[in-house]
Amino acid sequence: MGRQSKHLYINLPVKHVKESKVFFEQLGFEFQERFTNSQAACLVIDDTINVMLLSHKHFQTISEKQLVDAREASEVIISMRVDSRKEVDELVEQAIAAGGAPFKEKQDHGFMYGWSFQDLDGHLWEVFYLDEERSGLS
């Protein structure tokens, strides 16, 4: 019997669920509507990875810890691998056009290329392409 794949749900607190949903829709992402309401939006990364954008109030029901203002302090960096250098640039440019902010300059290490942005709440998203043949990982 093979191992069943795991599903990953990353929970992020956001000030405004509706505005955050619109932001990520402008980047081309879809949402799982059955897990989306006024307090939460389920951002689909792929078949096994989702990011739950949770209102501050709802997030506090899950975590009793004090919320971090992601514009002032880092709590997490979400790194997402894409299929090409072009896709890295397109996604970050879309994020900036949708109201996000750039974060760090483009990084080009030959076999790996990346760029970063901050979403509407200041969460850090790193987008990168890895050339497996050049990296020695293939």
pLDDT in tens, 2-48: 566 688 899 999 999 999 999 999 999 999 999 999 999 999 999 99
What is the CATH classification number for the domain harbouring 50? 3.10.180.10
Report pLDDT for 134: 75
65 SS3 class: coil
Phi, psi of 38 (to 5 degrees): -70, -15
Report pLDDT for 64: 81
The answer on 58 and 5 residing in a single domain is yes
d(CA 132, CA 116): 20
Residue 124's pLDDT band (boundaries 50, 70, 90)? very high
* Residues spanned by the domain of 118: 69-138
Number of domains the chain is built from: 2
Report pLDDT for 126: 96
Judged against a pLDDT cut of 80, whether residue 103 lies above it is answered with yes
Q: Which residues pair with 12 in a beta bridge?
A: 53
Judged against a pLDDT cut of 70, whether residue 1 lies above it is answered with no
Residue 137's pLDDT band (boundaries 50, 70, 90)? low
**Both structure tokens of 67:** 């919320």
Domain boundary among 40, 62, 84: 62
Report pLDDT for 108: 95
Look-up of token digits 């739950």: 52
**41-44 contacts at long range (C-beta below 8 A, 24 or more positions apart):** 41/17
Domain boundary among 62, 95, 113: 62
CA distances 59 to 68, 99, 131, Å, are 12, 23, 37
Over residues 69-101, the pLDDT tens digits come to 998 998 889 999 999 999 999 999 999 999 999
